[in-house]
Chains A and B, each alone.
Chain A
Amino acid sequence: MNIDWKGYDASSCYDELVTPKGTVRTHARELLAYLDSLTADEIRERQRAADGAIVEMGITFTVYSEGENIDRAWPYDIIPRIIAAKTWDPVDAGLRQRVQALNLFIADIYGEQKIIRDGVFPAELLADSANFRQECVGVRPPHDVWAHICGSDLIRDHKGRFLVLEDNLRVPSGVSYMMENRVLTKRVFGELLENSSIRPVSDYPTQLFDMLAAISPRPLDYPEVVVLTPGIYNSAYFEHSFLAQHMGAELVEGADLTVGEDDCVYMRTIDGLQRVDVIYRRVDDLFLDPEAFREDSALGVPGLMRAWRAGNVGLANAPGAGVADDKVVYAYVPDFIRYYLDQDPLLPNVETYVCNRAKECDYVLNNLDQLVVKPANESGGYGMLIGPTASKKERNEFARRIRHDPRNYIAQPLIRLSTVPTVIDGQVEPRHVDLRPFILQGDRMYVTPGGLTRVALRKGSTVVNSSQGGGSKDTWILEQD
C-alpha cells in the first residue's frame, strides 16, 4: 500500500515513527518501507490473521459489565512501535534509579522514618495514606526490598521526551500481554523480525522466577514458588495463569493454602500438605489475610501476615508496598532520588501540583480548565477530571471535592501524548500511546526491554485502558549499527 505519509497528520504532537514534515524517522525506515510494499488488502488480511490467532490462542482479558464477566479478545494492532536502543537505554537507567529510590522510601517508612524527620516528606501525608499498613511497621523483608515488581507508566511529550506518569507497586498487570504481542508479531511479520535486531522480551518469566527465588526463606535451589490469584473471574486471571505456566510455578487460590501452627504456609496437594516458600500474590493487600485485614475476604489465607512477619514465607510485592503507589507520593519521587541516592533524577515526572500545598492548590483551582486532576488512589483512569474537555459543571464539582479533601488530589498539565501509526479500518492513522515497562528488584534488578504499549484507538482520545476501549502494540527496542 502506498501510504500517503504527507496526508498522515504527524504535526499536532510527537509522532514516534514519522516527522512533522511527513518523512520517516531513521529507526522506522525498514518497517515503513515494508508496510508500503503491502497492499491495503494485505494489511487487512494480516490484521485479520492476528485477530484470529488471538481468539485461537485464547488471549483474553475479563471485563465486568452489567453484573457479568465477559471474556474479551485482547486488542492488538499489527504495526509495532519502535524505539531506538540509544533512546531506550537512558530510560532503562532512569527506571532502575527510580525503583531503587522507591524501595528505599518504603523501607524507611516502615522503619526509622528518617525522611520525615529530615523534613523531606510531610508526616501528614503518611497519616492520610490509604495504602500505609500499620501491620508492616518494623518488618525487614529480604534485601530490604518491598516492591519487587513495579509497572511504571511512561508517556512521551510533544518533544518526544519520556516522562513518568505513575508507578504501579501493588499488583501491576500487563506483562503477559507484552509477551503475547511479540508472539503475535512473529506470526504476522515474521520476515521483518528476522532481518532486524530487536531485543527479546521472552526472558521475563525466568527473571521473575529468579527474583522470587531470591526472597525464599529457605536456601533451596528450587524453592516452592506459587502464584496466588483471586480466581478465574479476576480480570487478570489470564495473566496469573500465564505467569505460573511460564515459571513452572503452581497457580493457587486462597483456599488451596493454609498456615500451620508453626507459622509456615502450606498448600493442599494430592499428597497432603506441602510447604510454600514464596508467594507471588496477585491479591490486593486488604484481601490477603482475613485475620489481619478484611474479615470477609474469601480470597486470602488466614494467618498469612503472621507467617510473613515471622519470616517464614516471601511475599511479592510485600504487603504495604502500595504506600509509594499513590499519586501524591508520586510527586515526591524526584525528592526521594535526591535524598536517598544523592543523584539527579534521570527520568522526569510530569509536572505535578500537589493540592496539599496551599499555593499549588490555589493554582489548580484557578486553572482547572487547563489541568488534569487525579485522585490519589484510583487506577485504571477512573475518577479523573480532564479539565480542557470537561463541562463547567464537572469542573465545579471537582473544585468542591478538592477543597473538601486537598490531600487526595494532584493536578498535571494535559500532556499531548505521542502517536504511532495504527491500522484503523485498513488505513494507517496516528493514535496516542503510553508504555508500561516492568522493573524487577530482588537481589538484583531487571527492566523489560520496552514493555506493554497501550494505544487509544479512538481518534484524538488519550484513554488507553483496555477496559475502556484501548488497544495494544508490540514494542521493539531496535539495535542499530
Chain B
Amino acid sequence: MLSRAAERVYWMGRYIERAESTARLVGAYNNEIMDLPKSVDASWRSLVDIAGATEPFFGRYQNPDERNVVKFLLADEDNPGSILTSVRAARENVRTTRELLPTEAWEHTNKLYLYVKEQVHQSLARKHRFEFLQTVIFRCQQIAGLLAGTMSYDFSYRFVRMGLELERADMTTRIVDSAVYLLLPRKTAPTEYDNLLWVNVLKSLSAYQMYRQHVIPRVIGDEVVRFLLQDPLFPRSVAHAVAEVEACLRALPRNEAPLRSIARLQRRIKEADTAGMDLEELHEYIDMLQSGINEVHEQIIATWVLVERQPGSPVAG
C-alpha cells in the first residue's frame, strides 16, 4: 500500500469520527447546560477549551457566547475541527483514495458533505440543531458501518480504522472532561445535579443503557468515569478504542515503535485509580491520556507515512 494513500485513509477515518464526536460533544454539552439551574455558572467558553481550540477560537471571535461557540464548532471554515471542515476533509481524502475504498463509501461521504454544507447554517438555531447533530452522527456511523461491513480487512481498512479509533479515544476523553469542567468550579459535595450531568454524558456517547446493564443501574460519577475510560467492552470507552488501535497495529508491517508507544498508553489507562482522584487530578490525568494518544499518532505517521522520501537502494520485490 502506498504511504501517501495510507496517510489519506487514516485521516479519512479521523475526520469522519471527528465530525461524529464533535456532534456528540456539542449535543452533550447543550443538554448538560439546559439541565443546570441558572445559579450554576456554566459558560459556553468551556466547550471551546474542551475541544482543545481556545487559541483558534479567540483568534476569530471575542465573545464566547452560545451562538459564536456553536458556530465555531459546527460551521466555521477556519476551524480544522468544525463539523463542516471535518466532513469536507474526510470527503477530500476519500475523493483522493476512491480506488481503495468501496464506491458506496465515496457516495455516502459525498452526500454527508452535501448535507452538512446545506444544513449547517440553519442548525445554528436551537430548534434545528438537535436534528442536525443526530443526522451527522447517524451518517458517520453509516459510513463506518459500511466500511466495516464491505471492506476486506486489509491495510487500507486498518489505517481507516486506526484513524477512527484514535480520534474516538481522544474525543471520549474530551467528553468526560466536559463534565469535569462543569463540576470543577463548585468543588462542594455532589449535588442533585451531578447525576443528571453524568446521565447526559453517558447519553451523548450512547452509553447509558450499556452502563446500566454492565456496571450498576444507578448513575454514579466515579463509576461513569471508570466505565468511559477503562471499560474493556464498551466500544466508545478509551480502553476499548485503544485496544482496537493495537489490533490494527499488529496487522501492519514494521510496527515495533508504534506498538511500544501504545503499550505505554495502555498501561496508563489500566493502572489509573480514577475513583481516588479529585476533579483537578482527574482533569490532569485526562490531559496525560490525550498526550499519550497524540504520541501514538506521531509514531504512526513517522513509521508509515514519512518513509524515506529520497531514493535509496531499493529492495527487490
Once the chains bind, are B114 and A264 in contact (CB under 8 Å)?
A: no
Annotate B282-317 by CB proximity to A: 1 below 8 A, 0 otherwise: 000000000000000000000010011101111111
Once the chains bind, are A271 and B253 in contact (CB under 8 Å)?
A: yes
Known: A232-B95, A270-B6. A58 touches B316 (CB 8 A): no
Q: How large is the interface on B (under 10, 10 to 19, 20 to 34, 35 or more residues)?
A: 20 to 34
9-residue interface stretch from B21-29, B42-50, B96-104: B96-104
Q: How far is the CB of B87 from chain A (nearest CB, A)?
A: 14
9-residue interface stretch from B105-113, B122-130, B175-183, B186-194: B105-113
* A401 is an interface residue with CB less than 8 A from chain B: no
Q: How far, in whole Å, are A464 and B95 apart by their CA atoms in the complex? A: 27
Annotate B77-109 by CB proximity to A: 1 below 8 A, 0 otherwise: 000000000000000100111111001001100
* A116 is an interface residue with CB less than 8 A from chain B: no
Known: A58-B106, A232-B96. A270 touches B252 (CB 8 A): yes
Annotate B1-39 by CB proximity to A: 1 below 8 A, 0 otherwise: 111111000000000000000000000000000000000
Of B103, B311, B312, the contact of A245 (CB 8 Å cutoff): B103
**231-281 of chain A: CB within 8 A of chain B:** 232, 241-242, 244-245, 248-253, 255-256, 258-262, 264, 266-275
Once the chains bind, are B155 and A274 in contact (CB under 8 Å)?
A: no
Within 8 Å CB of B214, what residues of A? none
* B254 is an interface residue with CB less than 8 A from chain A: yes
Once the chains bind, are A267 and B2 in contact (CB under 8 Å)?
A: yes
Within 8 Å CB of B312, what residues of A? 273
Q: How far, in whole Å, are A268 and B306 apart by their CA atoms in the complex? A: 10
Q: How far, in whole Å, are A113 and B315 apart by their CA atoms in the complex? A: 41
Main secondary structure of the interface of A (DSSP, over half): mixed
Within 8 Å CB of A268, what residues of B? 2-4, 307-309
Q: Which residue of A lies closest to B305 (CB)?
A: A270
Q: Which residue of A lies closest to B92 (CB)?
A: A232
Q: How far is the CB of B163 from chain A (nearest CB, A)?
A: 14
Q: How far is the CB of B217 from chain A (nearest CB, A)?
A: 45
Of B99, B111, B315, the contact of A272 (CB 8 Å cutoff): B315
Within 8 Å CB of A274, what residues of B? 317
Q: How far is the CB of B314 from chain A (nearest CB, A)?
A: 4
Once the chains bind, are A270 and B96 in contact (CB under 8 Å)?
A: no
Q: How far is the CB of B104 from chain A (nearest CB, A)?
A: 10
Once the chains bind, are B313 and A256 in contact (CB under 8 Å)?
A: no
Once the chains bind, are A56 and B110 in contact (CB under 8 Å)?
A: yes
Known: A55-B114, A269-B2. A241 touches B98 (CB 8 A): yes
Q: How far is the CB of A155 from chain B (nearest CB, A)?
A: 33
Once the chains bind, are B1 and A57 in contact (CB under 8 Å)?
A: no
Q: Which residue of A lies closest to B307 (CB)?
A: A268
Within 8 Å CB of B317, what residues of A? 266, 273-275
**46-68 of chain A: CB within 8 A of chain B:** 55-58
Q: Which residue of B lies closest to A301 (CB)?
A: B311
Interface size on A, residues (CB 8 A): 34
Within 8 Å CB of B308, what residues of A? 268
Once the chains bind, are A250 and B316 in contact (CB under 8 Å)?
A: no
Of A55, A260, A270, the contact of B253 (CB 8 Å cutoff): A270
Once the chains bind, are B253 and A258 in contact (CB under 8 Å)?
A: no
Most buried by A among B114, B254, B304, B311: B311
Once the chains bind, are B304 and A270 in contact (CB under 8 Å)?
A: yes
Q: How far, in whole Å, are A57 and B309 apart by their CA atoms in the complex? A: 35
Within 8 Å CB of A244, what residues of B? 99
Once the chains bind, are B4 and A253 in contact (CB under 8 Å)?
A: yes
Q: How far, in whole Å, are A266 and B3 apart by their CA atoms in the complex? A: 13
Q: How far is the CB of B139 from chain A (nearest CB, A)?
A: 13
Within 8 Å CB of B6, what residues of A? 270
Annotate A192-222 by CB proximity to B: 1 below 8 A, 0 otherwise: 0000000000000000000000000000000
Once the chains bind, are B314 and A251 in contact (CB under 8 Å)?
A: no
Within 8 Å CB of A232, what residues of B? 92, 95-96
Q: How far, in whole Å, are A17 and B209 apart by their CA atoms in the complex? A: 64
Within 8 Å CB of A272, what residues of B? 254, 307, 315
Of B1, B4, B98, B314, the contact of A264 (CB 8 Å cutoff): B314
Q: How far, in whole Å, are A140 and B61 apart by their CA atoms in the complex? A: 65
Within 8 Å CB of A56, what residues of B? 107, 110-111, 114
Within 8 Å CB of B110, what residues of A? 56-58
Q: How far is the CB of A137 from chain B (nearest CB, A)?
A: 27
Q: How far, in whole Å, are A261 and B315 apart by their CA atoms in the complex? A: 11
Once the chains bind, are B107 and A260 in contact (CB under 8 Å)?
A: no
Known: A232-B95, A241-B99, A259-B311. A270 touches B1 (CB 8 A): yes
| 15 further contact pairs, Cβ within 8 A, besides A255-B309, A256-B4 | A241-B99, A244-B99, A245-B100, A249-B99, A250-B5, A250-B99, A251-B99, A253-B4, A260-B314, A264-B314, A268-B4, A269-B307, A270-B307, A273-B312, A275-B314
List, sorted by A's number, 12 A–B pairs whose CB atoms are closer than 8 Å: A57-B110, A58-B110, A253-B4, A256-B2, A264-B316, A269-B1, A269-B3, A270-B6, A270-B155, A270-B254, A270-B307, A275-B316
Query: Residues of B at under 8 Å CB distance from A?
Result: 1-6, 92, 95-100, 103, 106-107, 110-111, 114, 155, 252-254, 304, 307-309, 311-317
Q: Which 9 A-B pairs have the closest CB atoms?
A: A245-B99, A244-B99, A258-B311, A260-B314, A273-B314, A270-B304, A58-B110, A275-B317, A271-B253
